């Protein structure tokens, strides 16, 4: 099939960037969109032109490296998948596909489609953990945990840290990301001890990273490749109130 790509190119963080149009004709339906970018890059490299820089690694939707705004939506038109899982059969002959980086002040563009999401790591470093040193753990079955508690914690913990929630939010808010971690650890008995401290430190870091506030549009939930629920955001709000007021 024949495809027109409009891809954001930006040489350095300071910008400016612009959309550049590329035409590709030997695309097949079973290629993934990232393989189309690979193909384009092969052609550019063979001609000595600089290929398009983009992050991607596992290509099975779990490492969270790939984060592209595809046709105006984070991770493209399909629900519950990451950019690497978009295949060309999703598109039609002669379609134009626009690809931009995720945009937020907290996610500066490094080059082309590559962004810097280390703000997320700093939020986790601020408190997204349970303080247990290696070696001192009791037997794994010492505390029984209800199955639905663990399942709810797991669903929150499935976050891949891709940043689609921030990209989708009109305020570039990181609430879903932070809430997922606060809910994952806060729901479990192991996380109980540091519950208050964790929530406060992570929220402080989130604000320091210049993410916006939550407007409850729920765009994050709609675009999350792991379909993490905004119920976690309510959980986070509750935790903050609990920690500060009650």
Partner 1 sequence: MRPTVTVYGSSIGQKIISAITGLFLCLFLVVHVSGNLLLFKGDEGKAFNEYVIANTNSLLIRSIEIVLFAGFLIHIFWGIRVWLFNRRARPLDYVENRPSENSSLPSRIMFITGMLVILFLVVHLRTFWIAMRFTGTGGLSDYELVQATFQSPLYDSFYIVCMAILAYHLRQGFQSAFQTLGLRPIWRRAIDWVAVIFWLIIPIGFAAMPVYFLIKGAS
Partner 2 sequence: MELNSRIPAGPLVEKWDSHRFNLKLVNPANRRKYHIVVVGTGLAGASAAATLAELGYRVTSLCYHESPRRAHSIAAQGGINAPKNYANDGDSIYRLFYDTIKGGDYRSREANVYRLAQVSNNIIDQCVAQGVPLARDYGGLLDTRSFGGAQVSRTFYAQGQTGQQLLLGAYQALSRQIGMGNIVFYPRREMLDLVVIDGQARGIVVRNMINGQIESIACDAVILATGGYANVFFLSTNARMSNATAIWRAYKRGACFANPCFTQIHPTCIPVSSEHQSKLTLMSESLRNDGRIWVPMIKGDKRDPNLIPEVERDYYLERIYPSFGNLSPRDVSSRRAKEVCDAGFGVGPTGKAVYLDFRDTIQRNGREWIKEKYGNLFDMYRQITGENAYETPMRIYPALHYTMGGLWVDYNLMSTIPGLFVLGEANFSDHGANRLGASALMQGLADGYFIISYTIGDYFASNKFHKVDTSHEAFRTAEKELKSTIDRLLGIRGKRAVDDIHKDLGHIMWEYCGMARNAAGLKKALEAIPSLEEEFWRNVSVPGRTDDLNQELEKAQRLIDFLELGKLIAEDALHREESCGGHFREEHETEDNEAKRDDENFSYVAAWEYRGPGNPPKLNKESLNFEYLKPSQRSYK
DSSP secondary structure string for all residues of 45-101: HHTTPPPPP----SSSSSS----EEETTEET-SSTT--GGG-BGGGS-TT-EEEEEE
Among candidate residues 82, 77, 55, 234, the one with its CA nearest the CA of residue 156:
234
Q: Rounded to the nearest whole angstrom, what is the least distance from the CB of residue 6 to partner 2 in the complex? A: 20
Ranges within 172-231 binding partner 1 (CB under 8 A): 172-173, 175, 200-201, 203-208, 210-219, 222-223, 229-231
Position among 114, 222, 240, 243 found at the interface with partner 2 (CB under 8 A): 114
Position among 37, 68, 88, 106 found at the interface with partner 1 (CB under 8 A): 106
**Both tokens of residue 25?**
């004709």
Position among 75, 117, 182, 211 found at the interface with partner 2 (CB under 8 A): 117
Is residue 225 near partner 2 by the rule CB under 8 A?
no
Ranges within 6-25 binding partner 1 (CB under 8 A): 8, 15, 19
Q: Are 106 and 16 in contact (CB under 8 A)?
A: no
Is residue 16 near partner 2 by the rule CB under 8 A?
no
Q: Rounded to the nearest whole angstrom, what is the least distance from the CB of residue 162 to partner 1 in the complex? A: 15
Dist CA 116 CA 108 (whole Å): 6
Position among 1, 6, 22, 39 found at the interface with partner 2 (CB under 8 A): 39
Dist CA 246 CA 240 (whole Å): 9
Rg (CA), the chain: 20
Q: Rounded to the nearest whole angstrom, what is the least distance from the CB of residue 215 to partner 2 in the complex? A: 27
For residue 209, the 8-state DSSP code is T
Q: Which of these ranges, 54-62, 154-162, 183-191, 238-246, lies near partner 1 under the rule CB under 8 A? A: 238-246
Tell me whether residue 2 or residue 213 sits nearer to partner 2 (CB atom): 2
* Cis bond upstream, residue 165 (ω within 30): no
Ranges within 67-86 binding partner 1 (CB under 8 A): 69, 71-73, 77
32 binding partner (options partner 1, partner 2, none; Cβ < 5 to 8 Å by kind): partner 2
Ranges within 113-172 binding partner 1 (CB under 8 A): 126-127, 168, 170-172
Q: Which of these ranges, 23-31, 37-45, 65-73, 141-149, lies near partner 1 under the rule CB under 8 A? A: 65-73
Q: Which residues of 133-144 are buried (b: 16+ CB within 10 A; e: fewer)?
A: eeeeeeeeeeee
Q: How many CA atoms lie within 13 A of 164 on its CB side?
A: 34
Q: How do 109-111 and 114-115 pair as beta strands?
A: antiparallel
140 binding partner (options partner 2, partner 1, none; Cβ < 5 to 8 Å by kind): partner 2
């Amino acid at each position: 099939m024949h495809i027109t790509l409009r891809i954001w190119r930006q040489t350095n963080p300071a910008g400016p960037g612009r959309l550049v149009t590329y035409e590709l004709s030997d695309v097949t339906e079973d290629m993934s969109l990232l393989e189309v970018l690979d193909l384009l890059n092969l052609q550019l490299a063979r001609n000595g032109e600089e290929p398009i820089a983009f992050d991607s690694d596992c290509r099975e939707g779990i490492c969270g490296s790939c984060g592209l705004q595809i046709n105006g939506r984070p991770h493209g038109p399909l629900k519950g998948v990451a950019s690497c899982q978009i295949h060309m059969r999703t598109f039609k002959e002669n379609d134009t596909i626009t690809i931009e980086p995720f945009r937020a002040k907290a996610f500066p563009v490094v080059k082309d489609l590559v962004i810097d999401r280390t703000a997320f790591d700093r939020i986790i470093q601020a408190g997204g953990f349970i303080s247990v040193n290696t070696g001192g753990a009791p037997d794994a079955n010492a505390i029984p945990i209800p199955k639905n508690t663990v399942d709810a914690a797991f669903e929150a913990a499935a976050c891949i840290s891709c940043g689609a929630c921030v990209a989708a939010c009109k305020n570039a808010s990181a609430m879903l990301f932070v809430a997922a971690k606060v809910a994952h650890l806060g729901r479990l008995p192991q996380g109980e001890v540091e519950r208050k401290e964790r929530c406060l430190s992570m929220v402080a870091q989130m604000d320091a990273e210049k993410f916006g506030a939550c407007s409850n549009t729920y765009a994050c939930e709609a675009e999350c490749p792991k379909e993490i629920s905004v119920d976690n955001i309510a959980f986070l709000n509750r935790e903050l109130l609990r920690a500060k007021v009650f």
